[in-house]
């Protein structure tokens, strides 16, 4: 439980020397849907630095605020409902607060949802840290007919309460003034701590008696006792390590006896909150039907809801492709020009040097670059849906379908994105809370046919099956999607048995999008991808290019071709010769590469791929090839994304291994079955 | 918070109970050497703090929380008497008064050191038993059904799956987490035990009963003998009051943070009979998977909406 992040890592400039005074640090916390990023973004602007918490897949954002002759470090902690370590986000937030001890903690609450968002304030008040409450979304509250009196709330809580409409930039100055007031001691800071009533206090004292008598820094004793009673596993582990086995057994027995004290504690906190807010809230317009209620009648309707979801997703795809295609073409052309330039410049050098730079490296750059517009638009679309509040509704509508695969509704969005491109889909798993859901969804996404594979599918069915092409296309698609479902159902039972996904999700109030937040978010995600995934994709595609070019004399003589010949016996079981196996291997660079490779290997001087293909592949072999290529190992970009999101090569390896096995296995079955049905040559 | 004076009264109540005397305003007034109206005032005060349940003209009774507090104070009192007598050699007639002063200023740690220093004495110098450490009825105590005293009311917390099968469909429906249970008096060794569950009599073999856990309810909650149903059983427009959860730690903790605390009203907004549901809790719309909604136990609240069903 020592700090996982050293001071050095957490310092944005990285230039803080020991003798320099530590800059004042302000931590920003809040539940999801309180508009925390619309506070953080304008305060820090582009000075913010985004990374991951060491060893965690949780975003870590830090930035500098400058004003009135001061500079403060502002740390944006992940959105959490409580400080019990139920999720990585909660763990990160509370570890930071306790171990790094920021100078001031700003808790953002939602005025339209005061009771629930004050829960985090009730928890934060147990910590020995000064608190300032940012009462955000005052405008939304007014619209919902809720009138909040900040001054009354401030008097009740004994800590500064600043009314804000952060999306319009209102209240930010006042918030920082309040922070300064607390820092300088100008504000009569006198916080009220949540009271728990006599029965719980007796119990807390009793638990305290069982704690080690010595100092438990950085943890306050009372906080430890409460978290033990709340069943916090991490705190329990901490104390198990600090106590001898006999004393731990006594404490453990006591905790077991009071297993449902957790209910009493949460109830007591909410009762306390109730007393705090009663005087501060007025609801003159009770009974009015809100905008959210009206929209939700359709958005979550059992029949209309799915239609809306499908229509939204469809138009997002259409928009993304319409908007990104010109950019992709432009970038592609640019890379092509650059490659030509390099070839002429390097005309004097050995042929392989020009090839390596022009095709290998620039080809890799091209892969990364052409992904960017697509990624940017998908990220923006996802951020938009999340910001206006629709994301949760989509998850609700898709929940039943996803449940069959051992997932819940939220996984639908990343999976669906996979139809466009698997890369943003994998990166989109970040919206899922539990590690289990993230992993399972990540393993399923590469099975979803992306646009590249769709291109190959449509081309080959057209060439092989003529008029019946569209029918076969649909059949193969249905087969692939059925496989996604079956594999999901299977993996959830094999890899994560017994863990049923828990689907409890707040449906936030709808509100107008905050473009600044969406754009900043998109910008950061794209930048993040370029910095961390870009180089890996570049290296991998260069490596595969090298395999296809070395030792020279064209791709037929290359190591890649040798590898294809090595796999020929396996291909034989599916009616595929070594050239088709090489095409499959080449598809790992990018799925649509399969066609280009086939063209190089198969087409000589005459005819086109479409005319030659039927002579080479029987319908049975063609079907087998299509099935394999739909389910084959992910492309370089997706592999890199998996590594980036799971923070390990292990799950990428699992993905490679199971998809190779699955695709070949199904390919063989389909080929043999089709032959029995008389579809062979 | 709790004043020394309040602690004195709590102690006095257990003392009377211990001697088998009725706990009335009169006896309490004698025990505490005050006038009866003062006692009435104090009883109301204690009741407000959840330490006793008390209605005028009825015998006050300790809540589990109150009993916990009272027996801790009594334990400290008698430990001090032991110490003052054995170690300091204080005269008999002065023991009680000094102990009365000291008991309120004793921290849990001091209490433990005191007990250790004295060795394991089980009685005070007057011969009364020293309540054991932690040996009280705690606020949120879990007991097997076999230990459920006939005067207590419990809420079933957990039951083993194998036993559920043994109970059969009808029994399993009644004896489910969230159900209110009372034990019948006059149990015979070797005979099945009789319980009133959800208003109906159920016979359970001793070994099965020993594997069912119930929470002993504080007196103020025990009066409501109504049946808990899963949240998923509410129709749109109906409201339920949360009673508890039949779920694992992680889910309970998440529910609590989102405001699903026992006693809170939840309105069903959308429930298609299958798939996830939407509820309104503390002014927030929350979507729950069907499985999750089945694990939140509520009591249906009669209202204009419910009667329309």
ipTM of the complex: 0.79
What residues of B are in contact with residue A267 (Cβ under 8 Å)?
261-263
Q: How far apart are CA A45 and CA A68, in angstroms?
A: 16
Per-residue pLDDT of chain B (309 residues; tens, 9 = 90+): 678 888 889 888 888 877 767 788 888 888 888 888 888 888 888 888 878 888 777 778 887 778 878 888 888 898 998 889 888 888 888 888 888 889 888 888 888 888 888 876 777 777 777 877 754 433 456 677 887 777 677 888 777 666 666 776 667 677 777 777 888 777 777 778 888 786 677 888 888 888 788 877 765 454 444 567 889 999 998 999 888 887 777 788 888 988 998 888 999 999 988 889 999 998 889 999 888 898 898 888 754 333 333
Residue A143 has a CB neighbour count (10 Å cut-off) of 16
Q: Which overall architecture, per CATH, does domain B229-307 show? A: Roll (2.30)
CB contact under 8 A, A257 and B141: yes
Provide the shortest C-alpha distance from residue A415 to chain B (in Å).
19
Q: Which CATH number fits domain B142-222: 3.40.50.10890, 1.20.120.80, 2.30.30.90, 3.40.50.720?
A: 2.30.30.90
Provide the shortest C-alpha distance from residue B93 to chain A (in Å).
31
Test the A interface: residue of B70, B289, B292, B294 with most A CBs within 10 Å: B289
Provide the shortest C-alpha distance from residue B1 to chain A (in Å).
8
Classified by CATH at the fold level, domain B1-138 comes out as Arc Repressor Mutant, subunit A (1.10.10)
Q: Which overall architecture, per CATH, does domain A198-281 show? A: Orthogonal Bundle (1.10)
One-character DSSP codes across A371-388? HHHHHHHHHHHHHHHHHH
Q: Within 13 Å and on the Cβ side, how many CA atoms surround B134?
A: 17
Three-state DSSP class for residue A314 = helix
Residues 274-313 of A with CB under 8 A from B: 292, 296, 300, 302
What residues of A are in contact with residue B69 (Cβ under 8 Å)?
198-199, 202
Q: How far apart are CA A448 and CA A480, in angstroms?
A: 7
Q: How far apart are CA A463 and CA B75, in angstroms?
A: 91
Query: Torsion-angle region of residue A406: left (phi > 0), alpha (psi -120 to 50) or beta?
Result: left
Q: A3 falls in which pLDDT band (50, 70, 90)?
A: very low
Q: How far apart are CA B189 and CA A191, in angstroms?
A: 57
CB contact under 8 A, B69 and A396: no
CB contact under 8 A, B257 and A82: yes
Decide if A504 touches B, using CB distance below 8 A: yes
Decide if A329 touches B, using CB distance below 8 A: no
What residues of A are in contact with residue B63 (Cβ under 8 Å)?
199
**What ranges make up the beta strands (E) of A202-317?**
281-282
DSSP annotation of B236 reads: T
Beta bridge partners of B281: B266, B284
Q: Where are the domains of chain A?
A: 7-184, 198-281, 290-681
Q: Give the tens place of pLDDT for each residue, A475-490.
A: 998 899 899 999 998 8
Classified by CATH at the fold level, domain A7-184 comes out as Rossmann fold (3.40.50)
pLDDT of residue A175: 95
Q: How far apart are CA A581 and CA A568, in angstroms?
A: 7
What residues of A are in contact with residue B257 (Cβ under 8 Å)?
81-82, 84, 86, 119, 266
Beta carbon pairs, A and B, within 8 Å: 173
Lowest mean pLDDT among A381-390, A609-618, A629-638, B235-244: A609-618
pLDDT of residue B162: 67
Q: A681 falls in which pLDDT band (50, 70, 90)?
A: low
Q: How far apart are CA A153 and CA A147, in angstroms?
A: 12
Test the A interface: residue of B52, B110, B257 with most A CBs within 10 Å: B257
Query: Torsion-angle region of residue A210: left (phi > 0), alpha (psi -120 to 50) or beta?
Result: alpha
- CB-based contacts of A231: which residues, under 8 Å, 6+ apart? A84, A255, A259, A262, B249, B252, B253
Whether B142-222 shares its CATH topology with B229-307 is answered yes
Under 8 Å between Cβ of A368 and A271 = no
Test the A interface: residue of B242, B264, B285, B296 with most A CBs within 10 Å: B285
Provide the shortest C-alpha distance from residue A226 to chain B (in Å).
13
pLDDT of residue A111: 92
pLDDT of residue B141: 61
Q: Where are the domains of chain B?
A: 1-138, 142-222, 229-307
Q: Do the strands A70-76 and A59-67 form a parallel or antiparallel pair, or are they unpaired?
A: antiparallel
Which residue is it, tokens 């005191």?
B114
Q: Which is nearest to A141 in space by CA: A177, A115, A104, A180?
A: A115
Q: How far apart are CA B135 and CA B243, in angstroms?
A: 27
Asked if pLDDT for residue A56 goes beyond 50, the answer is yes
Under 8 Å between Cβ of B279 and B286 = yes
CB contact under 8 A, A260 and B142: yes
CB contact under 8 A, A203 and B139: yes
Reduce the secondary structure of A70-115 to three states and give it as a string: EEEEEEECCCCCCCCCCCHHHHHHHHHHHHHCCCEEEEEEEHHHHH
Three-state DSSP class for residue A50 = strand
CB contact under 8 A, A116 and B261: no
Q: A130 falls in which pLDDT band (50, 70, 90)?
A: very high
């Amino acid at each position: 439980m020592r700090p996982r992040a050293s001071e050095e890592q957490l310092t944005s400039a990285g230039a803080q020397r020991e003798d320099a005074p530590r800059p004042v640090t302000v931590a920003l916390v809040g539940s999801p849907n309180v508009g925390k990023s619309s506070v953080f973004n304008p305060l820090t602007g582009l000075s913010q630095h985004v990374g991951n918490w060491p060893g965690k897949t949780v975003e870590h954002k830090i930035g500098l605020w400058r004003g009135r002759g001061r500079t403060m470090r502002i740390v944006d902690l992940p959105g959490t409902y409580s400080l019990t370590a139920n999720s990585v986000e909660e763990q990160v937030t509370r570890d930071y607060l306790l171990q790094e001890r920021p100078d001031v903690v700003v808790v953002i609450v939602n005025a339209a949802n005061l009771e629930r968002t004050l829960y985090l304030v009730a928890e934060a008040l147990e910590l020995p840290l000064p608190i300032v409450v940012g009462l955000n979304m005052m405008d939304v509250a007014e619209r919902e007919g809720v009138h909040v009196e900040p001054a009354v709330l401030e008097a009740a809580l004994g800590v500064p309460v600043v009314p804000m409409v952060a999306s319009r930039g209102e209240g930010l100055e006042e918030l920082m003034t309040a922070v300064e007031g607390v820092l300088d001691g100008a504000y009569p800071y006198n916080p009220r701590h949540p009271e728990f009533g006599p029965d719980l206090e007796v119990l807390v004292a009793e638990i305290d008696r069982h704690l080690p008598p010595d100092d438990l820094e950085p943890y306050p004793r009372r906080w430890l006792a409460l978290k033990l009673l709340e069943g916090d596993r991490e705190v329990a582990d901490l104390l198990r390590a600090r106590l001898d086995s006999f004393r731990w057994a006594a404490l453990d027995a006591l905790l077991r006896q009071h297993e449902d004290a957790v209910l009493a504690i949460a109830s007591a906190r909410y009762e306390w909150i109730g007393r705090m807010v009663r005087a501060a809230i007025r609801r003159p317009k009770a009974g009015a039907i809100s905008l959210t209620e009206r929209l939700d009648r359709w958005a979550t309707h059992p029949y209309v809801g799915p239609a809306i979801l499908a229509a939204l997703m469809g138009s997002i795809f259409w928009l993304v492709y319409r908007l990104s295609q010109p950019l992709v073409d432009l970038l592609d052309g640019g890379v092509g020009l650059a490659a030509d330039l390099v070839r002429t410049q390097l005309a004097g050098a050995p042929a392989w040097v020009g090839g390596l730079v022009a095709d290998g490296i620039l080809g890799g750059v091209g892969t990364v670059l052409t992904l960017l517009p697509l990624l940017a638009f998908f990220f923006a679309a996802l951020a938009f849906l999340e910001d206006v509040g629709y994301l949760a509704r989509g998850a609700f509508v898709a929940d039943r379908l996803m449940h069959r695969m051992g997932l819940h509704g939220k996984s639908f969005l990343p999976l669906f994105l996979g139809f466009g491109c698997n890369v943003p889909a994998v990166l989109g798993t970040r919206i899922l809370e539990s590690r289990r859901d993230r992993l399972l969804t990540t393993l399923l996404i590469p099975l979803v046919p992306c646009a590249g594979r769709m291109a190959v599918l449509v081309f080959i069915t057209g060439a092989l099956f003529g008029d019946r092409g569209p029918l076969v296309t649909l059949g193969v698609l249905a087969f692939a999607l059925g496989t996604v479902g079956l594999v999901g159902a299977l993996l959830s039972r094999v890899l994560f048995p017994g863990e049923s996904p828990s689907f409890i999700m707040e449906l936030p109030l709808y509100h107008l999008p905050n473009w600044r937040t969406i754009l900043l978010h998109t910008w950061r995600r794209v930048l993040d991808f370029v910095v961390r995934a870009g180089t890996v994709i570049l290296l991998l595609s260069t490596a595969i290019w090298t395999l296809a070019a070395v030792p020279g004399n064209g791709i037929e003589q290359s190591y890649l071709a040798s590898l294809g010949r090595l796999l020929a016996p396996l291909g034989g079981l599916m009616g595929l010769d070594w050239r088709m196996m090489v095409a499959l291997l080449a598809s790992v660079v990018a799925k649509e590469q399969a066609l280009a490779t086939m063209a190089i290997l198969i087409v000589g001087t005459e005819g086109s791929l479409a005319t030659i293909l039927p002579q080479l592949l029987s319908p049975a072999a063609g079907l087998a090839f299509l099935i394999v290529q739909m389910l084959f190992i992910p492309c370089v970009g997706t592999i890199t994304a998996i590594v980036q999101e799971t923070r390990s090569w292990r799950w990428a390896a699992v993905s490679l291994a199971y998809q190779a096995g699955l695709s070949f296995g199904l390919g063989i079955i389909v080929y043999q079955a089709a032959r029995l049905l008389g579809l062979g040559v | 918070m709790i004043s020394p004076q309040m602690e004195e009264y709590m102690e006095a109540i257990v003392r009377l109970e211990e001697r088998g005397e009725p706990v009335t305003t009169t006896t309490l007034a004698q025990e505490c050497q005050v006038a009866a109206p003062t006692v009435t005032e104090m009883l109301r005060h204690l009741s407000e703090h959840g330490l006793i349940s008390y209605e005028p003209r009825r015998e006050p009774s300790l809540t589990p929380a109150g009993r916990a507090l009272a027996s801790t104070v009594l334990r400290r009192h008698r430990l001090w008497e032991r110490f003052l007598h054995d170690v300091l050699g204080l005269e008999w007639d002065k023991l009680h008064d000094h102990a009365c002063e000291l008991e309120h200023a004793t921290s849990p740690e001091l209490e433990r050191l005191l007990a250790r220093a004295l060795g394991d004495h089980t009685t005070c110098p007057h011969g009364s038993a020293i309540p054991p450490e932690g040996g009280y009825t705690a606020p949120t105590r879990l007991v097997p059904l076999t230990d459920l005293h006939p005067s207590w009311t419990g809420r079933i917390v957990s039951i083993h799956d194998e036993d559920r099968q043994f109970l059969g469909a009808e029994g399993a429906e009644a004896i489910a987490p969230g159900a209110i249970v009372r034990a019948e008096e006059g149990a015979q060794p070797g005979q099945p035990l009789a319980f009133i569950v959800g208003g109906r009599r159920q016979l359970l073999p001793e070994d099965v009963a020993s594997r069912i856990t119930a929470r002993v309810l504080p007196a103020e909650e025990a009066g409501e003998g109504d049946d808990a149903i899963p949240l998923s059983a509410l129709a749109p427009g109906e409201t339920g009051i949360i009673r508890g959860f039949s779920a694992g730690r992680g889910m309970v903790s998440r529910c609590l943070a989102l405001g699903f605390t026992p006693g809170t009203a939840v309105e069903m907004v959308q429930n298609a009979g299958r798939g996830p549901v939407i509820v309104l809790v503390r002014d927030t719309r929350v979507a729950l998977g069907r499985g999750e909604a089945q694990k939140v136990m509520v009591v249906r609240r009669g209202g204009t909406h419910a009667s329309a069903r």
